[in-house]
Amino acid sequence: MPYPLTAGKSRIEALSDGVFAIAMTLLVLKLEVPEVMHHSSNAEMLRQLLALGPALVTYVVTFLIAGGFWFLHHLTFHFIRNVSGVLIWVNLVFLMLVALLPFSAGLMSHLLVHPVSQLFYFGNQFAIALMLNVHWHYARRKNLLAKDGERLEMSHLSWRIGVVTAAFAAAIVAAIVDPPFSALAFLICFVAGVVLEHFRCQKV
Amino acid sequence: MPYPLTAGKSRIEALSDGVFAIAMTLLVLKLEVPEVMHHSSNAEMLRQLLALGPALVTYVVTFLIAGGFWFLHHLTFHFIRNVSGVLIWVNLVFLMLVALLPFSAGLMSHLLVHPVSQLFYFGNQFAIALMLNVHWHYARRKNLLAKDGERLEMSHLSWRIGVVTAAFAAAIVAAIVDPPFSALAFLICFVAGVVLEHFRCQKV
Amino acid sequence: MPYPLTAGKSRIEALSDGVFAIAMTLLVLKLEVPEVMHHSSNAEMLRQLLALGPALVTYVVTFLIAGGFWFLHHLTFHFIRNVSGVLIWVNLVFLMLVALLPFSAGLMSHLLVHPVSQLFYFGNQFAIALMLNVHWHYARRKNLLAKDGERLEMSHLSWRIGVVTAAFAAAIVAAIVDPPFSALAFLICFVAGVVLEHFRCQKV
Amino acid sequence: MPYPLTAGKSRIEALSDGVFAIAMTLLVLKLEVPEVMHHSSNAEMLRQLLALGPALVTYVVTFLIAGGFWFLHHLTFHFIRNVSGVLIWVNLVFLMLVALLPFSAGLMSHLLVHPVSQLFYFGNQFAIALMLNVHWHYARRKNLLAKDGERLEMSHLSWRIGVVTAAFAAAIVAAIVDPPFSALAFLICFVAGVVLEHFRCQKV
């Protein structure tokens, strides 16, 4: 490792927080303000807002999924002390996939039940989850972590990142087999993971 | 609490500052530059700018309201020392509502006096205020705060957050009963709250 | 001052850096990519890019002026130690005017020589400069500054902020009297200020 | 140096991280969501996504190049201790060129093989690299660096910044001589640089 990058952790964190904050906030630009007139009735106006339903659902779900990825990424950096050049490039690819979310969400909100848009949307999320695995396991293997004392919590985090990845993999399979089932498959896997996680935590 | 998240406060603050800064700055994209020609007269040009009046007022008011929420959120973190997983999820929902402001503001600036757009706009603000209450009271109840010595100032902050929430609740009621009265109702409640607050502070 | 806000300096700085970074970067969205075809000649393509000239000049100038304001704002915070509620609200109004820059720049780049657009553009800059004065002199008067030992450097900074304000005031007057002279008036005042500043510095 | 700017390093870093994060994330806005209908076939939908190929490639490449510039910029600040007024202005010009990337990328993704768009795109990247050289060598010459002990690593960094600059210069020359060769020329120079660098590192 030719460069001493101990000071670098705070800046890759800052760049990550920036990209996450922007990608999450740009999602709102996919919600187009309906062009109604002043004299349009309340019923007409409500109908217009309800037509935005799928886009609003996509906004809420994508924002929270992205927030979840931010949380997991943040947890990994709780344990990481040293940053190497390779880790920074892994993070840049990770962030490139995060910054793609407004596009995937736009595809999803226009074409909510279309198999191809579902495939792209869940594919993007799966790729993010995959890079998070690469990032975390690379840091573990290369001894970039801070403390040896929290072995249990670290394997805990590995497991948590794994659950999210599996849930998105299931969503992709479902999108190919039976598109409308796609979101449901994701939900089932995710909730199952969270519940199992919860019991595991209490044992700890 | 399976993860030690004492280091996490600075990053949820960074994400919050990012989302607030972006949501507030994206408001400007709702101000469309008028397409006038070089040879248009000054009077024509001024008329075009004046037509942007409602959008400009919405921009200024929404920016300052969002700034106020940022300030209150910032004050809560002055007292919070520890961050739990639940608190981070509460904050992510809070930020999701903050990031929705450019959409609500766009709705408001196009359709300034329409009851449905007012309802949506004040509903968004009210939901932000509500989540701020959840965030603050959860942190207080779960003993995530830093110091015991500032009890007075903390109940002071609870009260301040409550006033803002009440003011937006009043605006929603007014938007249903008598739309044009809506902004006024908000203003009355808000000013009353600030004045009462001021007297309270001086007693302290 | 009911709230102890000593910890708050770093977060108002973070919000400011965020708003400045976003407002400055959003300027680029005013540069529309020309819609040319693959088969268009190089001469045609160059002509299209040259037509973007005024917009590019506006981009460069506005980015650097905004950068200059960021620099001055940053210098004031070098001296400020404590932050009060009033100072935060002054800063929020300041940032609201900074976030308006992409709109003013859009107006300027479409209508480069129009007196009304010049008035709005320089008016926006002047308002930013004015709020910077309010911010700085309020902090000085209310004893929110960190060190007593740098009196000379602080009055130096007051003078520098004053020069920028005067230059934009001159640009506004010029925009009313003789529009094409407006940018020149700004330049003359600004350069004069910088030169005088330079000699002052060397004496120190 | 009239102002003591030792505290300023963290804020110019924060502004840089902000501008980089935004410029990189705004690249996604150049990917327009195809307007297809719900009843369009999967083949039709895939065809539409494949038509976005050049834009997606431009997105990925530009994001990673920008990430590389961020990394190099970050490495320079690892060594820089003091910040002067001149260095801040050099950085503002550097950031102005970084913020221009969404425009250059938009030009490139619409007109992938056009010589003029290639010239503009690689010209923008070359200008960024050039300013990075100015920034780094100015800091070295003016003794703004932190430690004397890492001479080898610092000359190493100079060399690395030089390689990137040379690679973009080669791309510009290629864009003039033989446009389709442009990206290849860049790739060859870049890979050659990285390989040479790698051997150099191992010797160290």
Q: Write down the domain spans for chain C.
A: 6-203
Choose the closest CB to B14 out of A14, A25, A29: A14
Residue type for B61, please?
V
A8 vs B143, residue with greater confidence: B143
Contact C144, C87 (CB under 8 A): yes
Q: What is the pTM of this model?
A: 0.90
Choose the closest CB to C45 out of D14, D89, D116: D116
ipTM: 0.87
> Rounded distance, CA A94 to CA A132, Å?
7
> Rounded distance, CA B101 to CA A126, Å?
29
Alpha-carbon dihedral angle through residues D151, D157, D160, D164, given to the nearest 10 degrees: -140
Binning pLDDT at 50, 70 and 90, where does residue B1 land?
very low
Q: Chain A residues with CB inside 8 Å of D46's CB?
A: 116
Do the Cβ atoms of B88 and A71 come within 8 Å?
yes
Q: Pick the residue of D28, D39, D61, D201 with the most A CBs within 10 A to test the interface with A by mutation.
A: D28
Does A110 contact B at CB distance below 8 Å?
no
> Rounded distance, CA C21 to CA C35, Å?
28
Separation in Å, CA of C153 to nearest CA in chain B: 30
Please list, residue by residue across B178-194, b when 16 or more beta carbons sit within 10 angstroms of its beta carbon and e when fewer do: ebebbbebbeebbeebe
Do the Cβ atoms of D153 and A11 come within 8 Å?
no
C82 vs A90, residue with greater confidence: A90
Do the Cβ atoms of A95 and D67 come within 8 Å?
yes
Range with the poorest average pLDDT among B24-28, B189-193, C164-168: B189-193
Residues of chain C with pLDDT under 70: 1-8, 36-39, 111-113, 147-149, 197, 200-204
> Rounded distance, CA D161 to CA A171, Å?
43
Range with the poorest average pLDDT among A4-8, A48-52, B183-187: A4-8
Does D4 contact C at CB distance below 8 Å?
yes
Does B67 contact C at CB distance below 8 Å?
yes
Separation in Å, CA of C108 to nearest CA in chain D: 18
Binning pLDDT at 50, 70 and 90, where does residue A177 land?
confident
Query: What average pLDDT does this structure show over A27-52?
Result: 78
Does D5 contact A at CB distance below 8 Å?
no
Binning pLDDT at 50, 70 and 90, where does residue B189 land?
confident
Q: What are phi and psi for residue D80, nearest 5 degrees?
A: -80, 130
Neighbours of chain A (3+ CB pairs under 8 A): B, D
Do the Cβ atoms of C45 and D117 come within 8 Å?
yes
Do the Cβ atoms of C63 and D114 come within 8 Å?
no
Does B150 contact C at CB distance below 8 Å?
yes
